[in-house]
Every structure is written in C-alpha cells, then in structure tokens.
Structure 1
Amino acid sequence: MQAATMDSVEESPSMLWGLDPIFSAFAKLYVRDILNMTESTQVPGIYFYNSRPIFKVDVLGTVVSKRERNDFFCYGVDDGTGVINCLCWKNDLLREEGAPTKSGGTHSDGAQGGFNPVAELEKLRQAQQSRCHLEIGELLRVRGPVKTSRQQREITASVYYKVNDPVMAVQIAWMMEVPQLYRECYDKPFLLQHDAMGNLATTPLNKATHVIMDFVKQKSVSRFRPYDVQDLLQPLISSKPQTASAAQEPVACPSSGQQLRQLLKEALQILQDEGVLYRKVKSQEEVYHVTAEDKDLFMAVKDVIREDSKREKYAERGCHVLHILSAVRQRYSLNLSKTALELVLKSLECNSDIISTSENHYTLF
C-alpha cells in the first residue's frame, strides 16, 4: 500500500474529523504508511492517510533494536514494510526492578503459611517484566498515538506487550486482517461535501441508500425489485437542464430517467458491497433479498454450522467463516457475499444461537 499524500487545502475541517470512525480507533496501518503520512497543518499530532485523519495506530512487528533508560524502553519495530521507533514507558513495578523486595526475617516468619503481600508483589513485578522487557528478535504489539520527534516519526505506546507466537498463528491472522482493512476502509477516502454555507452536505448517492434502507425498514420487506423503490429516488434527481454561460443553451446531459436508473444502480451496488442486500439468483428479473430479513438464509447458515461442527475436523475450533460461506453457497445461493454472511453470523451470535470460538471460527452455542 502506498501512503496517500494530500495538500493542506484538501484537509477537512478539524471539527468534522470525529465523523470518521477511524479517527477514534487504533488504525492497523503498515509501518511504511505510518512513516509516510502527512501531518495536519491545523492540529499538530494528527496525520492523514488517504484523507483519513489518524492519530492512534496499532502495530505488530519484530524488535530489531532496543534502548533502555530509567523511565522507558525504546524499541525499533519492523513489520516487514519498515521500521519505526516505539517509546514504551515503564510502569512503577518495572522502575522498582533494582529495589530490594525481600522483607525482614520477622515479617517473613509471620507470613509463612499465609498471604505474603511482598512475595505476591514480587511475582507481579516479574510477570510484568517478562511481558514488557523484550529482546531483539521477539514479537511486540504496540498501540498508541503517533508523534514526530527530532524529525523522526515514532509511536508513544499507551499499551505494549510481548506476543508469544510459537506457531505464527497471531502473525498469520494479522497478515490476513490488515490487507482486508485497507481494501474495505483505509483505501476508501474520507469524503465530506459542504454546501455554500459551509454546512455538511449529503450526496444524492448517500441519500439514495438511506431512502432504500428506510423503505426496507418501514415495509419490513424481505425482498424487492428495483422498480419498487425507483420512484422514491425521483426527488433526488435534478430536472433543471444545465446551460452554457454564453449561449444559454442546454448542454447535452443524461436525461432524468437515465440519471435515476444510474443512481438506483449505484445505490443498490453499495448496499450489496456492505452485505445489506444480495441477489439469491442472478437473472433478468432482478430481485434483491434483504440479508437481515431472510429467515431461510439464517436457517441455512445454522444448519451448516450444526452439521459440520459435529465432524472431527471442526469439533475443536468450530467452522471457519470461509468454509461456512462455501457450504451455504452450495446449498442456498451461489451469489451470497462474504460481507452478507458476516452480517448473518453477527446477528446469530448476538442472539446466542452460535458462538465464535476464535477469530473467524463459529460453532453452535
């Protein structure tokens, strides 16, 4: 992924940054992109990746350098795309590493056979040290805000710990998750349109998707055809012809009917990409099924998990989401998307019909 550069004139107003959910989250970005992000000219310490405001990141990588001071560790972390310094402050237990922790003989004899707070504190300090004191070559996860110090980009850790990953399960899961986040979120620009008064404006496409969703909720429909909602989008189409400033003659542009059909097509595609809608069968007669209202789909997913969880291969961890997707496509609909299935799985888990045994694995409750 290449970091997106942006000019200061393209920055959205700082008071609107909170509208982007990434702004409040720890963004799982590649180190290369963190190093190449553009710093905001409005608020120091805020950076932009592809027009998205970011100040907190989440990084997993190997320690390739290490410096220790009385109050902090400075680890150089390499995730395969670059190396970034991570400033990891010691807590009180680590600062007291060199302090004596054994009590006098009288107190030790009195605590024998009972609870010894000094001994327990020593155990806690040792556990903390084993997780926070890393050596070169060990795996470190760091979460915290990004800052620029002495013209170098670094992370000030709010949370950091050593990751024990003997079979590389954590690293493999990370390598599968991060590219998906880039595709579905980070690489999609954060766009805010404003009207002449500077107020936040909603595009016709955003309005169209909301109109369709309102129709689905109000009518409680499980499926519909495009012509069922087409007329509802008519008010979003401008009927005024564009004119040239000199001749004041209409400029050739798509008719209102063409604009309406194009708007409907794009809105339906967005809802399909989000998994809200899907087409069970692709034919000339376009029928869109509402994922959350398709009881037969929910039953098909539960049947797959119920039957396959009994097999020895899936008995321990449950069924992987990709296996469930493949099975449901064979039994129910070849056109079911992964995003639609994930919405179904989340709904079933919220209703306690299924549980996730680990990331992307599900079994019956």
Structure 2
Amino acid sequence: MATCSSIMTYAKLLAAELLSVTVHPTTPPSFSLPRRTPSSISRAEILGIVVSLESKPRFLKFLLDDGTGCVPCILWLNPRLPPSDHDPTPAILRLQASRVRLGEQLRVRGRISVYRGTLQITVRDVLVERDPNMETFHRLECVRIAKRCYGLGKDDLGG
C-alpha cells in the first residue's frame, strides 16, 4: 500500500500526469508534477495496453496507453557497463522483453527520462497483468494517492 511519504521509490501515475511533468534542464534532467508537494519525481509506475512496438537488437521501444494518454517506454537490452548489483542481468532483460506484445496489459516501472525532447520511461521492470480489473484498480489508486497525499481531486487528474 502506497503512503504519502516523500520518499516514494516509484510514483504511481496516469499517463496524463506523467506527460504533464515539468522538465527542469539540469544534468541529469529533473522532473516535477504540477500542484504537488513534494513535486520532484524521478521514477514512475504506469499500467496500460501496448499499442505500438518497435524491436531492435539493442532496445525494445513501445507505447503504453492507459486511456488518459500514451507513454513511450524503452527497454534497453544491453546492460550498462560496469553493471551495478541492482541492474537486471541480460537474461532478465530478455525475459522482460518477451513479455511485451501488442495488446498486452503491462505494469511498467522505470526511470523518467527525455529523448529528443520527448518524455519516456526507461524501463526497469515489466509485469504482465492478467486481471482485467487491474487497470481500474491502478486508476483508482492513482486518484486516491493524489487526493490523500496532494489534495487533488479527480478533476485535477483528467478524470
């Protein structure tokens, strides 16, 4: 269960929220959500349907649609060098890439990044959601967190 702690590893967001973040041109870039305190975020969790897919030897690029917008996601298949203890292994990366299929409902967690002026999620985890109710539960959880932690209502979230 999510709490209102200012130290939240992955912010549960709707696509509309993620796509509305303000990008601050620092190195590396920082991101903030409007009307929220604390507003700075670096990692996000979204849930949606894969509506576009592009596979290359070094990466897998796809779009997740949750009904409020489409979020570009990229899953790098080549681990960074030198890898840290927390980085997925090449075998885990291949397994995660195999889960991404058109029409599949996925829960994606990763780092928010910008590529050529476009926000995207650099994917860390991919989970297939088999329960069709999870999209509704995710949406309600995002609204509940926004209301409880930030004082926002459903109208502030595009709902």
Name which of structure 1's ranges 132-141 and 20-29 shifts more when overlaid on structure 2: 20-29
Structure 1 residue 48 corresponds to structure 2 residue 12: no
Higher strand share: 2
- Tell me how far 1:132 sits from its aligned partner: 3.6
Cα displacement string for residues 96-155 of structure 1 (whole angstroms, at most 9, x for unaligned residues): xxxxxxxxxxxxxxxxxxxxxxxxxxxxx8xx36x7432211101111111110011100
Residues 139, 22 of structure 1: alpha-carbon distance in 2 compared, 3 angstrom cutoff? farther
1:174 aligns with one of 135, 138, 153: 138
Q: 1:70 to 1:38 in 2, by over 3 A?
A: same
Counterpart of 2:99 (choices 117, 133, 139) is 133
Unaligned runs of 5+ in 1: 1-19, 96-124, 189-365
Alpha-carbon distance between aligned partners in 2 of 1:159 and 1:141, rounded to the nearest angstrom: 8
- Give 1:94 deviation, angstroms: 7.0
* SS of residue matched to 2:44: strand
Which structure 1 residue ranges, 4+ long, deviate > 4 Å from structure 2?
A: none
* 1:1-365 map, 5 Å: 21-42=5-26, 44-49=28-33, 50-51=35-36, 52-90=39-77, 91-93=89-91, 128=95, 132-165=98-131, 168-187=132-151
CA distance in 2, matches of 1:66, 1:156: 15
1:186/1:159 CA distance change after superposition, 3 Å: farther
| Aligned counterparts of 1:133 and 1:170: Cα–Cα separation in 2 | 17
**Matched length:** 135
Give CA deviations for 1:318-355 in whole Å, capped at 9, x if unaligned.
xxxxxxxxxxxxxxxxxxxxxxxxxxxxxxxxxxxxxx
Q: Distance in 2 between matches of 1:58 and 1:186?
A: 17
**More displaced, 63-72 or 170-179?**
170-179
Distance 1:94 1:29 in 2: 25
How many percent identity over aligned positions? 27
> What is the one-letter code of the residue matched to 2:91?
L
TM-score normalised over the length of structure 2: 0.73
Given the superposition, is the C-alpha separation of residues 70 and 186 from structure 1 closer, same or farther in structure 2, using an over 3 Å criterion? farther
TM-score (norm 1): 0.34
Quote the Cα distance in structure 2 between the aligned partners of 1:175 and 1:185: 15
Residue pair 2:14, 2:139 contacting (<8 A) in 1 also:
no
Alpha-carbon spacing, 1:26–1:186, altered in 2? closer, same or farther (3 Å): farther
Partner-residue secondary structure (3-state), 1:21 = coil
Query: Structure 1 or 2: larger helix share?
Result: 1
> Which ranges of structure 2 fall in alignment gaps of 5 or more residues?
78-88, 153-159
CA–CA separation in structure 1 for the residues paired with 2:141 and 2:74: 25
Cα RMSD (Å) of the superposition?
Answer: 2.5
Give the superposition deviation at 1:187. 4.3
Partner Cα distance (2:46, 2:101) in 1: 17
Query: Counterpart of 2:11 in 1: which secondary structure?
Result: coil
The 8 Å contact of residues 108 and 123 in structure 2, kept in 1 or not, is answered as yes
Amino acid at match of 1:157: V
Tell me the distance in 1 between the aligned counterparts of 2:119 and 2:133. Answer: 29
One-letter amino acid matched to 1:55: S
For 1:138 and 1:169, locate their aligned partners in 2 and report how far apart those are by CA, in whole Å: 14
Contact in 1 for aligned 2:46/2:107 (Cα 8 Å) = yes
Tell me the secondary structure at the aligned position of residue 157 of structure 1. Answer: strand
What whole-Å deviation, never above 9, does each CA across 1:39-97 have from its counterpart, x for those lacking one? 124554221112411111000000000011112211100011110111113352378xx
Report how far residue 161 of structure 1 moved.
2.4
Structure scoring higher RCO (CA < 8 A, sep ≥ 6) equals 2
Contact 1:88 1:160 (C-alpha < 8 Å) held by counterparts? no
1:219-263 deviation digits (Å, cap 9, x = unpaired): xxxxxxxxxxxxxxxxxxxxxxxxxxxxxxxxxxxxxxxxxxxxx
- 2:150 and 2:144 mapped to 1: Cα distance? 9
Distance across 1 between alignment mates of 2:57 and 2:114: 22
Structure index of larger Rg: 1
